[in-house]
Amino acid sequence: DQQVKQNSPSLSVQEGRISILNCDYTNSMFDYFLWYKKYPAEGPTFLISISSIKDKNEDGRFTVFLNKSAKHLSLHIVPSQPGDSAVYFCAASAPNQGGKLIFGQGTELSVKP
Partner 1 sequence: DTEVTQTPKHLVMGMTNKKSLKCEQHMGHRAMYWYKQKAKKPPELMFVYSYEKLSINESVPSRFSPECPNSSLLNLHLHALQPEDSALYLCASSQKDRPGLAGGVLYEQYFGPGTRLTVT
Binding site for partner 1 (CB under 8 A): 32, 34, 36, 41-46, 49, 51, 89, 93, 95-101, 103-106
Q: State the minimum distance, in angstroms, from the CB of residue 112 to partner 1.
A: 22
Q: State the minimum distance, in angstroms, from the CB of residue 70 to partner 1.
A: 22
- CB-based contacts of 43, cutoff 8 Å, min separation 6: none
- Exposure on the CB side of residue 2, measured as CA atoms within 13 A: 12
Q: State the minimum distance, in angstroms, from the CB of residue 105 to partner 1.
A: 6
Contact criterion met (CB below 8 Å) for 19 and 68: no
